[in-house]
Structure formats: structure tokens, C-alpha cells
Amino acid sequence: MRLRLICVGQKMPDWVSAGYNDYARRMPPELPLELVEIPLAHRGKNPDITRLMQRESEALLAAAGPKDRVIALEVGGRPWSTEKLASQLENWQQDGRDVSFFVGGPDGLAEGCRQRADQQWSLSPLTLPHPLVRIVLAEQLYRAWSITRNHPYHRA
């Protein structure tokens, strides 16, 4: 089973890549975390946001496998505790399908991505910068895995 973080946006600052990579490389070989970056649609003067979001949505959907379980990261999604995420992770592993996480661009996810999603998850009621979401998600996935294996990383 693979975990795939599919994000709109490229060319992140070095601190984002370093933070994400630190947690991604800690994941065990049987549960790799892979990053797929989707180019941000160009937003010039007076952009047609709906059209741009649709273009990004099509790329996100194309990057996910046809049988993947899709989790859309949405402010309006359900909040999960770390323990709930660990439980979800165990369920996903038993299911055996790859899991793709959709992180939209600055204007969010288009309706097509939300409809394709098996679940919608809110990391926080706060609006987080999208580069930071990559790090938080990678860390929480590693923490959830550590809980399922009684690894000492999680000490709550």
C-alpha cells in the first residue's frame, strides 16, 4: 500500500522540502509516502478562478489511481484526532488500496475532487498555508503509523 500526497503547487521553499522529506523518509518500506506536485494554474490579471480550479482538479484526479481511496483535505471536512487517524490508517491498510490525499491550490479544491473523495478531512479549523500542510500531513501520517506499531515517537 502507498500513501500519495497530491498537491497543487511546485517550487516550495527549502524548509518545506526538508520538513516533508524528514517525515516521508521515516515511513516504513511497506507504507511509503510519495509526493506528487501538480503545477499551479497561472493566475494573471482578472483570472477565471472557476476555470483554473477545474484545470487543477483534472490534474489532481489524473494523478490518483482509479482504485485509490481518496481523502480530500478540506477546511469543511471532518476533524480527526491523531488517534482517529491511526485507526483510519489501520483500516486503510486492511483494505489494501493505495490512499491519495488531495491538497488544492490557493482557491481550494473543485467540486469534482470533493465528489471523487471517499472522505473529507480537516487538519484544522484554521486556514493553513499550503506548503505547511505538506509537513503537517507527513508528520501526522508518521505519528499515526508509530501509534499502530507502539513506536516511542508518539508519547501522548
Residue set of the binding site: 73, 104, 123-128
Residue 32, phi then psi, degrees to nearest 5: -70, 150
Q: Scanning the structure block, which residue is given the C-alpha cell 479544491?
A: 109
Here the cell at position 144 is 499515526
CA 55 to chain centre: 18
How would you classify the pairing of strands 33-38 and 3-8? parallel
Residue 40: strand, helix, or coil: coil
Binding residues for S-adenosyl-L-methionine: 73, 104, 123-128
Here the cell at position 108 is 481550494
60: how many CB neighbours lie within 10 A of its CB?
A: 26
